[in-house]
């Protein structure tokens, strides 16, 4: 592996940025809930997600009457930026902000633009939530760790988008879910799924059931938490078909986590591989194949060759 590739896949042990991770997670929930409050429902909650940019994460344009506004995390200059389609712009530094002060600064900036948004202040998918406006405990910002996290997102986003091109069926964008704090892409078999049991902490069963209304094979990147206390790539099938968890997947470092019910590939196994892109694509493809084969998906109809720049897909 050359030095450029090695630098692209940054080292980021969870223990080294745990407090910053927790703070950033809650900040993304504030911003994501603003998008949620103003965006019409799109299947599987796709209307709430954030997207990787060349500088961080963005909401993309959010409706505001006949105008739009957009909120961007800039992880290069370490600022939050709000811009409007009539030329307005406001920003503030991320460092030094608690969750409470961040929430207040965002809402104040929107109010200055005449944008009135109310959100549910209780965090989702986290234990022991505290209202955003009252959370002064989470206030850590390690700029170097955030910059390395962003570099991982850039490369994970790039490879996940390449993987997405090999599927003709319904597939999600590559997007960042602020509830679970992961970058994900999902493929669909086209068949309905059994009703999801719900039970996700601080997330309505109604939302969970809609998200998993159809059979999926989903994969992505997650900085880690709980049973997996390190950054990792994951892949799961819902509903889990018989024989799925015993399937042979690649590369050798990948395994099925009984605790999570997902295949896991430690990020460090990708970071230190001779060819990180190849290792990650092997994991994505082999875990998808495990779900598609065990679930008897119509692969001839759903799959195609991976896309190439400027090459029209043959039909």
Q: Mind giving me the DSSP string for 59-96?
A: ---EEETTEEEEEEEETTTTEEEEEETTS-EEEEESTT
Predicted confidence at residue 2, as pLDDT, reads 74
CA dihedral 5, 6, 7, 9 (to 10 degrees): 90
Report if pTM > 0.95.
yes
Per-residue pLDDT at 8: 82
Model pLDDT, residue 7: 77
Q: Can you give the pLDDT of all 315 residues of the chain as single tens digits?
A: 677 777 789 999 999 999 999 999 999 999 999 999 999 999 999 999 999 999 999 999 999 999 999 999 999 999 999 999 999 999 999 999 999 999 999 999 999 999 999 999 999 999 999 999 999 999 999 999 999 999 999 999 999 999 999 999 999 999 999 999 999 999 999 999 999 999 998 899 999 999 999 999 999 999 999 889 999 999 999 999 999 999 999 999 999 999 999 999 999 999 999 999 999 999 999 999 999 999 999 999 999 999 999 999 998
* Cα 63 from Cα 43, distance rounded (Å): 18
Report pLDDT for 190: 98
- Which H or E run contains 185? strand 182-192
Determine the pLDDT at residue 204: 94
User: How many CB atoms within 10 Å of residue 95?
Assistant: 13
Q: Tell me, what's the pLDDT at 98?
A: 98
pLDDT of residue 172: 98
User: Residue 289: what pLDDT?
Assistant: 98
Residue 158: CB partners within 8 Å, gap ≥ 6?
A: none
Strands 232-238 and 175-177: unpaired
Q: Which residues contact 233 (CB under 8 A, 6 or more apart)?
A: 156, 219, 220, 221, 222, 264, 265, 267, 270, 280, 283, 284
The predicted structure's pLDDT at residue 76: 98
């Amino acid at each position: 592996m050359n030095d450029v590739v090695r630098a692209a896949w940054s080292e980021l042990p969870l223990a080294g940025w745990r407090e910053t991770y927790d703070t950033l997670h809650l900040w993304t929930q504030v911003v994501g809930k603003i998008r949620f409050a103003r965006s019409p429902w799109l299947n599987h909650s796709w209307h709430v997600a954030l997207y990787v940019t060349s500088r961080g994460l963005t909401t993309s344009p959010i409706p505001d009457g006949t105008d739009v506004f957009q909120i961007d995390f800039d992880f290069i200059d370490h600022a939050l930026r709000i811009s409007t389609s009539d030329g307005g712009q406001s920003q503030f530094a991320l460092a030094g902000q608690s969750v409470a002060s961040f929430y207040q600064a965002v809402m104040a900036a929107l109010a200055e633009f005449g944008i009135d948004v109310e959100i549910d202040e209780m965090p989702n998918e986290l234990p022991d939530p505290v209202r955003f406006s009252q959370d002064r405990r989470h206030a850590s910002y390690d700029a170097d760790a955030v910059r390395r996290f962003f570099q991982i997102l850039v490369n994970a986003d790039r490879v996940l988008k390449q993987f997405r091109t090999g599927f003709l069926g319904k597939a999600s964008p590559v997007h960042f879910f602020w509830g679970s704090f992961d970058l994900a892409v999902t493929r669909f078999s086209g068949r309905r799924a059994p009703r999801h049991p719900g039970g996700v902490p601080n997330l309505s069963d109604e939302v969970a059931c809609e998200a998993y209304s159809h059979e999926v094979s989903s994969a992505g990147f997650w900085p880690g938490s709980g049973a997996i206390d390190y950054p990792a790539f994951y892949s799961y099938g819902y509903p889990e078909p018989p024989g799925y968890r015993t399937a042979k997947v690649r590369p050798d470092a990948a395994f099925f986590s009984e605790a999570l019910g997902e295949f896991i590939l430690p990020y460090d196994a990708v970071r230190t591989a001779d060819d990180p892109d190849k290792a990650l694509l092997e994991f994505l493809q082999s875990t998808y194949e495990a779900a598609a084969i065990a679930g008897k998906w119509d692969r001839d109809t759903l799959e195609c060759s991976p896309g190439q720049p400027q090459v029209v897909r043959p039909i």
